[in-house]
Structure 1
Amino acid sequence: MSFIMRLTLALLIYFIVEFYFYKRFKNSIAKLFPNINKSRLKKIIRTIIIFTNLYPVILVIYFVYLMISGAERMSAIENSFFDWLLVYPFWTSVLIIVQSIVFLLPIDILRILAFPFYKKNREAVRRKISILTLFVIIAAIIYVPSRIAYDYNFVSTRVTTLNVENLPESLRGFKIALIADTQADWYTDEARLNNYIESVNDSNPDLVLIAGDIITSTPRYIQQGADAFKRLTAQYGAYTCVGDHDNWAYRSDHPRSLREISAALEFAGVEMVDNDRRVINVDSSTIGITFVTYTYSRRITQSDLEFLVNGNGKHDVDIFLTHQPNESLIEITSKLGYDLFAAGHTHGGQLTLLFPYINLTPTLIETNYVKGDFYLNDMMIIVNRGLGMSVAPIRYNSTPEVTIIVLQNKE
């Protein structure tokens, strides 16, 4: 399906969802406040709809212009006034609408199914449903922007334990910081990056592993993305695998993107490892790390993967670090004696809707390994929520995360 078709389909679905939301809202207001000026209410709703949808309309016009003019690629509109006037209101309204509908739709379905049992009291039931509808919408209006602001400004440090059989004394209590997706760009600026790195240093890790995605796109942010890592203080250094966006500084020249990012990172004291192994020596103990490139643009070949994992040897702790938590890689790795599979990529489900007993996020379409700790056979799997953002310049119910992995002997 072409980009135009996908964009058209996405907008069509959203406008249907938006129509349903505002119709429910208008009907509930009219039900509870029968004397309200309905004409004025319609005008207010229409004004809100027009204002919050200006951003996608401008993007469509911009995209059509680029197609007509023959421009090579779409450049992001980087302007604070534009963001606060149009971008943030659009994305906030999208989440308010979708978060509300996650609760309103089941209520509507139950209402329809239960109609034969309450039809004699339909007016009383409709009034109660209208009250519940307004409660859900008002709660979303309060919670959604508050949570967006929280997830933009704060970093969560999560401590977890990796238990390893016959772990040498010198590695007991050894701390590894796993971070990912720093994605330096217009929205993840120097202040936000520094706050993230300070959170890493506050935990005083011995080693830092980065699961890729140093920038979002364009070469303008390579230096900014790399410079943040100069502040890392881990005794045994910092290493990163290749992420999706690390190929996209120059969209038409992936090798150049990796060369420039790798060079900037090296100057900052971070080694980018592309399909290779490294051994960290801690006194007489060793930590073996296999770095595998598994991204949308480049995926390790089966022969190269077999060479890497079969030649890995056995160390006191064996770690497999890659960008995407691909299920086939996880299955392969779990059979080869690795103690830990570490990844990022998912942003922890960057936009996650609240719902009882389940976190609803588009990320589930790609993988069930969205965030946190998992186990397969004897191998631990950790997916870090990272810092940056893709597509939408916000996070929702996905606070940026630093994962501190403490090595312990398995009793």
Structure 2
Amino acid sequence: MAVPSAVKSSALVAAGSAALALGYATVIERNAFVVREVTMPVLSPGSTPLRVLHLSDIHMRPAQLHKQAWLRELARWEPDLVVNTGDNLSHPKAVPAVVQAVGDLLSVPGVFVFGSNDYFAPKFKNPARYLYDSNGRIHGNALPWQDLRAAFTERGWLDLTHNRRDLEVAGLTIAAAGVDDPHLGRDRYETIAGPPNPTANLSLGVAHAPYTRVLDRFAADGYQLVMAGHTHGGQLCLPFYGALVTNCDLDRSRAKGASRWGKDTSLHVSAGIGTGPFAPFRFCCRPEATLLTLVGAPTGGHDETRNVVRSSPTASVR
């Protein structure tokens, strides 16, 4: 039976649209880096503002020169603190590229934890598994995370992997703690359990993947802010719907940006900067770093939380 010409035309249009969308997602959007600005009232009342640059999921490969150039420009935002929530690497020879790209930021106080793609290289798998299998683990070869850790710590950044530290930044006291990657099941929250320093201006929890078991523990201990990455903001999003998945047990509405977790804890999840080499696309979810301006919480309580977001390229630094 002959196929009607109208059906053939519709099929061709659909195929052409799909090809254009795939080309946009793989060539244009995944390289359309932006800096988002978010204001969060999480500091103790009366504290002076604190500018925190959140980096996550760089997924660096040595040949990614455009990404490296963009990262080098981030120091122009003059943050007071850098928080790196992991997945810096996607190649065994990428450590020098990461260190050189964030080089000026290593002179700024910083804290970090690692993610699965700091420990293990990506490995090919069916891209569709990203949509239905958040628990699947396919590891590639080991990556030189020890070299990256040495480079970060030698310049002064603090490794918060199962570590609690109080640090002074811009005249404020920050009580910070972190866990190893929950996506790999390496989190051992009991090693850092307990309330943070009650005299600190900010209590900060850090993890790579925002699994609810970890967020619940930070919230129960009274942390004011938890920061994580891993989700890539969903990576594939739909207009008016948002992220399709989060690649963990976090609900889709929190795939990126600021939200509340419980009564007194704020959460910020980075949409991330890179993509894995075997799923090199983003759609309706541009790669990003986030500049958080943390300000004093209202004296009436955290219920007055406000969230102001502006997307802008680094070229528009004021």
TM over 0.5: yes
Inter-partner Cα distance in structure 2 for 1:215 and 1:410: 36
Structure 2 residue 77 is matched with structure 1 residue 203: yes
Structure 2 residue 60 is matched with structure 1 residue 175: no
Contact persistence 2:209–2:248 (CA under 8 A): no
Contact persistence 2:42–2:296 (CA under 8 A): yes
Inter-partner Cα distance in structure 1 for 2:72 and 2:249: 28
- Give 1:378's match in structure 2, choosing from 239, 264, 284: 264
Partner of 1:367: 250
Partner of 1:146: 24
Structure 2 residue 10 is matched with structure 1 residue 32: no
- Give 2:61's match in structure 1, choosing from 185, 200, 207: 185
Task: Please tell me the residue identity of whatever aligns with 1:142.
Answer: L
Structure 2 residue 99 is matched with structure 1 residue 226: yes
Given the superposition, is the C-alpha separation of residues 330 and 384 from structure 1 closer, same or farther in structure 2, using an over 3 Å criterion? same
* Deviation (angstroms), 1:206: 1.2
Partner of 2:222: 337
* Deviation (angstroms), 1:159: 1.2
* Deviation (angstroms), 1:409: 2.0
Structure 2 residue 36 is matched with structure 1 residue 158: yes
Corresponding residue SS for 2:275: coil
Partner of 2:128: none
* Deviation (angstroms), 1:314: 4.3
* Larger CA deviation: 362-371 vs 240-249: 362-371
* Deviation (angstroms), 1:135: 5.6
Corresponding residue SS for 2:58: coil
Inter-partner Cα distance in structure 2 for 1:182 and 1:283: 26
Inter-partner Cα distance in structure 1 for 2:19 and 2:39: 38
- Give 2:176's match in structure 1, choosing from 263, 285, 289: 289
Partner of 1:241: 113
Q: Tell me, which stretches of 5 or more residues in structure 1 are unaligned?
A: 1-25, 34-40, 42-129
Task: Please tell me the residue identity of whatever aligns with 1:379.
Answer: T
Q: Tell me, which stretches of 5 or more residues in structure 2 are unaligned?
A: 123-138, 299-318
Structure 2 residue 166 is matched with structure 1 residue 279: yes
Contact persistence 1:343–1:382 (CA under 8 A): yes
* Deviation (angstroms), 1:402: 1.2
Inter-partner Cα distance in structure 2 for 1:328 and 1:295: 9
* Deviation (angstroms), 1:384: 0.4
* Deviation (angstroms), 1:225: 1.9
Q: Going by fraction, where is helix more abundant, 1 or 2?
A: 1
Inter-partner Cα distance in structure 1 for 2:220 and 2:75: 34
Inter-partner Cα distance in structure 1 for 2:155 and 2:44: 35
* Deviation (angstroms), 1:287: 1.4
* Larger CA deviation: 310-319 vs 334-343: 310-319
Partner of 2:305: none
Given the superposition, is the C-alpha separation of residues 268 and 282 from structure 1 closer, same or farther in structure 2, using an over 3 Å criterion? closer
Task: Please tell me the residue identity of whatever aligns with 2:30.
Answer: Y
Corresponding residue SS for 2:102: helix
Task: Please tell me the residue identity of whatever aligns with 1:223.
Answer: P
Structure 2 residue 187 is matched with structure 1 residue 300: yes
Given the superposition, is the C-alpha separation of residues 227 and 234 from structure 1 closer, same or farther in structure 2, using an over 3 Å criterion? closer
Inter-partner Cα distance in structure 2 for 1:192 and 1:279: 32
Inter-partner Cα distance in structure 2 for 1:247 and 1:348: 21
